[in-house]
Structure 1
Amino acid sequence: MAFDADEEILQDFLVEAGEILEQLSEQLVDLERHPDDSDLLNAIFRGFHTVKGGAGFLQLEALVNCCHSAENVFDTLRNHKRRVTPELMDVVLQALDYINTMFDQVRNREEPTPAPLSLIQTLDEYALPEGQGAAAARPEPEQSPGPATDEDPGDITDEEFEQLLDALEGDKAGGGSDPKQAEATPSADTPGDDSSDISDDEFEALLDQLHGKGRFSGEVATQSVPDPDETGQPSEPGQSVATGNAEESAKSGDSDLITDDEFERLLDELHGKGKSPGIADGAVARTPADTDKTSKVPDGPEAQARPEAKAAPSPKPGAGKAPETTKPAAAPRDSHPPAAETTVRVDTKRLDDIMNMVGELVLVRNRLQRLGADSEDEHMHKAVSNLDVVTTDLQSAVMATRMQPIKKVFGRFPRVVRDLARNLKKEINLVMHGEETDLDKNLVEALADPLVHLVRNSVDHGIEAPDVREKAGKPRQGTVTLSAEQEGDHILLSIEDDGGGMDPEKLRRKAVEKGIYDQDVADRLTETECFNLIFAAGFSTKDQISDVSGRGVGMDVVKTKISQLNGQIQVHSKLGKGTAIRIKVPLTLAIMPTLMIMLANQSFALPLVNVVEIFHLDLTKKNIVDGRECIVVRDKVFPLFHIKRWLVPSDRGSAEPENAHVVIVAMGTKQVGFVVDQLVGQEEVVIKPLGRALQGTPGMAGATITGDGRIALIIDVPSLLQHYG
């Protein structure tokens, strides 16, 4: 492993290969649904090929071998020598898992662990055309000459090299080749031996025929055997290039360029007709990285022939001059300057630091706005207004640099659904919408686990078995829809399935069995409240525990995580029709819009995402239900909480006012009323973590500095109610 390689090269490989591997997981699942999509087959082939090339350059032998075997499988598939089957895809996806594991090890600067030999052998068997057994399998990648080789389809074996020598010798004799004469032909290791049956010029011509004109020597003055790159067919040994190919040179205008037909004839001569299908595409589509690797790490006949080419003596000066070797095509290519790079790689820590500084600027802006409001100076008002505009634009621009498409999360779900569906013997189609929706990179990482739980839950609990769906008049294949869209400064995520839905009565029975509610309380639960029972710790509708579900942990984790992100989650379900779970989270966690309130003489901030409405209330009109204060607004009953009693201990014994402001806040589907002393107004705040002594304080999400210079605590509504309510 070349960990001591240039760090920039290694980082480029990690970025490029990481993106390709993310795409491969989704492309492989898509291929199983569209097995005849040639564009998809070629894209997957190129993906494995590119990762293999970069790994070979870094001498990652284990990664090269696994990618090479997978690449061979897709070379067979795209040439229509084998069809895509679920069993084949199981093996390829397993190989992709090992490749991802090795890639993570490389990212952590660890030596990659090779994939099991049995997996490589299975891939090699699938790389054979349909109907050929394991006995005809090609050699294992571990036996290849070196990890950095790219196995150019144009390379030939030693046996083919000998056959080509015999063919040239036969042409020189004017008839078929004599085996005895072929055995007597000296090795190419002695090109200068006068007793050899093949001359130096013929050897040069042979090298040109194999690898292209002028690749292994300087200017060639004369050739006894014409260059097949120019003619496509060998001619009489005594004919010179200048005379024999004059007509061809006049037609083409450049003796170094060959037509596609001539290239095909050369391949047929090297490998046998039809032996290497699709090779022209591979040669034309070769990437610069492949060319670079081939030139750095040669193998096969090329590696053997290079020293002999250098040892060949110079041509005699009396011979005819070959056409000029300068390629006119290089001039126009050099005349165009390379395109300037439009991207730059920046460490995420630097972006976080910039975001923190913008947050401090927002606090200064808020402070100046408060001071400007108290001033009557018109110039002061204009300056503060301009600062407000610039700060808002700067904040948006910096946030945009931290934005990532949610596709980074969505990309893993086709594989999750495919594997789980095969495990559960179900037929499921995953549909995704809004993959390009952007949100903060911290949210992208934080949403990954909750969404995996929800998607697995839809596959396991939601979608029925194919036979059950058929009896219910549904198609055998179920559908899980995953969508994302932006709404204002929030992101809406939706996970829907067309499965069996949830039965409220069954949920009530389970709640009583688990001891969550008494029978009387359970009977009074609404359907929405019944659906929310699935988020209770230890609650599960499964009677048997499996490796997929049944422990009642997943959905509890989901709700906890969404609450930590200041988000909301709602469940809608209809028995026999399906279930939809909707999540609402803010675009970013760094700067939060809040409602500033006063309790006694202290400032607090309520996240605006939780605030539903605000109104002034005569507290003498409150009601008592089950020992709890409630208010009725538009025929709706809301529990009432005096949060000042919880958050301001010194004010607990004071008399209650007759009138107060009430803020209705929502947590999922629940809504309650908070009694506050004073409403300050809406304000964007920067969340600062609490000190070590205050970390873990119930109901507190952090702190901030308000526009008037005070320190305000940010209220965590779910945690506050869970601890005090």
Structure 2
Amino acid sequence: MDMNQYLSMFIDESREHLQAMNDNVLSLEASPEDVSIVNNIFRSAHTLKGMSATMGFEDLASLTHEMENVLDLVRNHQLKMDEFIFDCIFKSLDALESMVDDIIQGGAGKADVADIVASLKSIVSGDYLKSGGGSAAGAAGASGAGGRAELDEFQFSILQQSIEAGVPVLRLQVHVREDCVLKAARAYMVFQTLEANGEVIQAVPSVEEIEQERFENSFTVYYISHIDKEQLSGQIGAISEIERVDVQVLDLPLLQSLMQPLASAKDEIAAAAAPAAATKAQEAKPPAGSKPAEARKPGGSGGAPVATRTIRVDIDRLDTLMNLFSELLIDRVRLEQLAGEIRRSDLIETVEHMARVSSDLQNIVLKLRMVPIDTVFNRFPRMVRDVAKTLEKKVDLIITGADTELDRTVIDEIGDPLVHLLRNAVDHGLEPTKDRIKLGKPETGTIHLRAYHSGNHVFIEVEDDGRGINREAVLKKAMQNGIVSPEQADKMSDNDVYLLLFASGFSTAEKLSDISGRGVGLDVVKTKIESLGGSLQVESKLGSGSKFSVQLPLSLSIIAAMLIRLGDEKYAIPLSSIVETMTIRKEQIRQVHKSRMVDYRQGVIPYVPLAEMFDAPGTADSLSGEVQLVIVRKGEKLAALAVDEFIGQQEIVLKSLGKYLTQTFAISGATILGDGQVALIVDPSALIK
């Protein structure tokens, strides 16, 4: 028996059941009396218990059994759901996910869940009501394996990316003197000092608890800064009634050890399974549950699922298929070129037929890699629920377009940026409930998460009906930080101003927050989206809300491009960035404030001589006095790229430049042409500032 095959099926099915339970518990939280939802959760738990026991993962089976006992009482009307029970169920799901992740990493799926099991047993016996269960205090006993760690997944991702980028990450333990009278005031002074030199990511206890003096004589801070360790210790130590500060510089292994063990938002793990195994597992799937009120999807049918017509395929196999097809595409272009030179009619007909067949094959191969964005979106309702509860806000997350498909490569990378945008919307976008009521707004804030196709791109939007972005506050902060000058500020459009929010370390927050990283995060969003060949736009109306729009390419593997010549070399420019091509005379290039510009439509746009910029060999001044231009776009901005010759449009295979050419300016990759030459692919967005 091939155990790897069954383990792969178990992992895949376990993750599906855990996601279904998360979704259904969120639905149940909105409709606590709906027994049909409880039945769905019970069936998923029962199936997961059976699968775990069969595979020998007894800890998993034991915990799901305790969950079953609670759910059985609820579905038989012997127990009513309350806040304590919901928190216990969610913590159980987090623990189960942690155990499945341990199995994925080669472990035995074991975890210390004694606290959670004790809480579940107390619910069944009714003892939790006697000890104050149903309150925040009662729920504290179910915090999970030996207590919670200091970092959640969101904070971990920020710190990890900072370390990888070479930015020092510090863990500070600040000790206040035992006879200190105003501990909160001293802590505030510490945070002021830290704010002046870097970015605070997390405080333990939370900032709110520190402000209310709900801590003993020390607190911990996770901090990003270039300041010298000794200098920082001296500055904090100089604050009155601070006894000492212990500063620890973190590397990745140390940071990993501090990661919260019960993280609830993990990346999807793809696993292979044979068709027979997938069919067998299909019989155990629970009926699809409805989306919760806090995270609902308009429309959609509630019909019964149809018989399965799918199989699971390892993503590595699809990558291999794509690589083989890429080589085939290169050979096809070469054959077309040779057929054009030889001019034999039978050869030309054969090559044309091969081109048609390979085009159909290309579409199929690309579609095989397309994955519904719902695989990313389905983690967000739970995350938004947890963040809103922490901030004591009421939030309605409305998801549309979850069936929109994206290339698997993009899907794997877009999750973290969307986490940042959604957390930012809940924390900074939406006003506190009391403020919304004063403003005459509904006390429940609304966040729309949308995805849709447009041309060769997918657009993802995060829109809230909150306070909006204060243009003047953003500009004031940007000028204070030296990001823009007063002269530049006067000429900036609203979108340009809003994009300043994505500058590294930029923050307009007036109050400390443990949710959105105190200004760290949006720069990570911008960097990640641009690395995927995408772009960002921001719209906002003060007092009404904000909308962040992410534009992404459908695929990162095969793109349509315009081939051009610069001197002796060939380059490719993605068609998705090109507005049009045109020819002008040299005398039409004008000097404006020491910059070369050309007339275009009703205005002027920058003139960018590519051959000069890339120092292309063999470049000579044109004798005709004419200049070939490619007009490219980045958002609302345009530029005219000067080239020596247009070669023509062609589908090209995008190849990475590897680990040694990561800092190449305005080049996003390379491709192999039909004649065997390598052509670099120009990144127009890097040329437009």
TM-score (ref. length: structure 2) = 0.71
Query: Deviation string for 1:581-626 (max 9, x for gaps)?
Result: 1122122111111121111121101122222232222332233333
* Deviation for aligned residue 1:42: 1.0
Cα deviations by residue, 1:423-445 (Å, 9 ceiling, x for unpaired): 11111001111111222111111
- 1:197 maps to none
The residue type equivalent to 1:533 in the other structure is L
Find the aligned partners of 1:582 and 1:372 in 2 and give their Cα distance.
45
Deviation at residue 96 of structure 1 after TM alignment? 1.0
Residue 81 (str. 1) matches residue 48 (str. 2): no
SS of the aligned residue for 1:113 comes to coil
Residues 82 and 129, structure 1, Cα contact 8 Å, conserved in 2: no
Structure 1 residue 411 corresponds to structure 2 residue 408: no
In the alignment, which residue of structure 2 is the partner of 1:39? 36
Report the secondary structure of 2:441's partner residue.
Answer: coil
Q: Report how far residue 347 of structure 1 moved.
A: 2.4
- Could you tell me how far apart the structure 1 residues matched to 2:583 and 2:6 are? 64
| SS of aligned partner of 2:570 | strand
Contact 1:638/1:672 (<8 A) preserved: yes
Alignment partner for residue 448 of structure 1, among 394, 399, 415?
415
Q: 2:326 aligned with 1:359, yes or no?
A: yes
Match of 2:504 among 533, 537, 544: 537
Q: 1:574, 1:47 → 2: CA distance? A: 44
- Whether the 8 Å CA contact 2:568–2:618 is kept in 1: the answer is no
Contact map agreement 2:566 2:619 (CA 8 A) in 1: no
Structure 1 runs (4+) deviating above 6 angstroms are 129-132
State the identity %: 36
When residues 655 and 363 of structure 1 are mapped into structure 2, their CA distance, relative to the original with a 3 A threshold, is closer
Q: Greater strand percent: which structure?
A: 2
> By how many angstroms is 1:652 displaced?
7.5
List gaps (5 residues or longer) in structure 2.
Answer: 134-279, 285-305
Q: What SS does structure 2 have at the residue aligned with 1:696?
A: coil
Conserved in 1, the CA contact under 8 Å of 2:568 and 2:619? no
Q: Which has the higher contact order (CA 8 A, sep 6+)?
A: 2
Inter-partner Cα distance in structure 1 for 2:584 and 2:359: 35
Cα separation, 1, equivalents of 2:86 and 2:662 = 49
Deviation at 1:392, TM superposition (A): 1.1
CA distance in 1, matches of 2:395, 2:623: 58
After superposition, give the CA deviation of every residue in 1:160-186 in whole Å (9 maximum; x if it has no partner). Answer: xxxxxxxxxxxxxxxxxxxxxxxxxxx
Instruction: Select 2:652's aligned residue among 682, 685, 688.
Output: 685
Amino acid corresponding to residue 563 of structure 2 in structure 1? M
- Unpaired segments ≥5 residues, structure 1: 137-287, 293-338
**Which residue of 8, 25, 36 corresponds with 2:5?**
8
2:63 corresponds in structure 1 to: 66
Larger deviation, residues 373-382 vs 541-550? 373-382
Give how far 1:651 is off: 5.8
Q: After TM superposition, give the deviation of residue 130 of structure 1 in Å.
A: 9.9
Q: Separation in 2 of the partners of 1:697 and 1:486?
A: 31
Q: Distance in 1 between matches of 2:378 and 2:675?
A: 45
Indicate yes or no: 2:670 matched with 1:673.
Answer: no
Correspondences of 1:117-196 after superposition (within 5 Å): 117-128=114-125, 133=130
Q: CA deviation at 1:524?
A: 1.6
Q: 1:346 aligns with which of 291, 313, 317?
A: 313
One-letter amino acid of the structure 2 residue matched with residue 423 of structure 1: T
Letter in 1 for 2:681: I
Q: 2:366 aligns with which of 399, 408, 417?
A: 399
What do residues 23-73 of structure 1 show as CA deviations (whole Å, max 9, x unaligned)?
Answer: 222222222122222222111111111111111112222212221222222
CA distance in 2, matches of 1:341, 1:44: 22
Corresponding pairs, count: 522
| Residue 139 (structure 1) aligns with | none
In the alignment, which residue of structure 2 is the partner of 1:27? 24
- The change in CA–CA distance for 1:5 and 1:713 in structure 2 (over 3 A counts) is closer
Q: Secondary structure, in 3 states, of the residue corresponding to 1:428?
A: strand
Residue 706, structure 1, aligned to residue 669, structure 2: no
Tell me how far apart the structure 2 counterparts of residues 354 and 563 of structure 1 sit (CA, whole Å): 26
1:555-704 alignment runs, 5 A limit: 555-650=522-617, 658-690=625-657, 693-704=660-671
Counterparts of 1:118 and 1:717, CA distance in 2: 55
Q: Counterpart of 1:494 in 2: which secondary structure?
A: strand
Which residue in the other structure is 1:380 paired with? Answer: 347
Partner of 2:455: 488
Contact between 1:23 and 1:411, CA under 8 Å: does it hold in 2?
Answer: no
| 1:359-409 residue CA offsets vs partner (Å, 9 max, x unmatched) | 111112222233344454433332222111110111111222222111110
SS of 1:672's partner is strand
Cα gap change, 1:657 to 1:97, in 2 (>3 Å): farther
Note if contact 2:420-2:516 (Cα within 8 Å) is conserved in structure 1.
Answer: no
Q: 1:128 to 1:667 in 2, by over 3 A?
A: farther
Q: Please tell me whether the aligned partners of residues 563 and 650 of structure 2 are also in contact (alpha carbons under 8 angstroms).
A: yes
CA distance in 2, matches of 1:371, 1:356: 23
Q: For residue 439 of structure 1, what is the aligned residue in structure 2?
A: 406
Alpha-carbon offset, residue 677 of structure 1: 1.5
Shift in alpha-carbon separation, 1:387–1:73, aligned structure 2, 3 A: same
Match of 2:288 in 1: none
Q: Structure 1 residue aligned with 2:486, among 519, 522, 528?
A: 519
AA partner of residue 82 (structure 1): L
* Residue 198 of structure 1: aligned partner: none
* TM value normalised by structure 1: 0.68
For 2:61, give the aligned amino acid. V
CA shift digits 1:207-251 (9 cap, x unpaired): xxxxxxxxxxxxxxxxxxxxxxxxxxxxxxxxxxxxxxxxxxxxx
Judging changes above 3 Å, is the alpha-carbon distance between structure 1 residues 433 and 607 closer, same or farther for their aligned structure 2 residues?
same
Aligned position for 2:295:
none
**Distance in 1 between the 2:584 and 2:621 partners?**
19
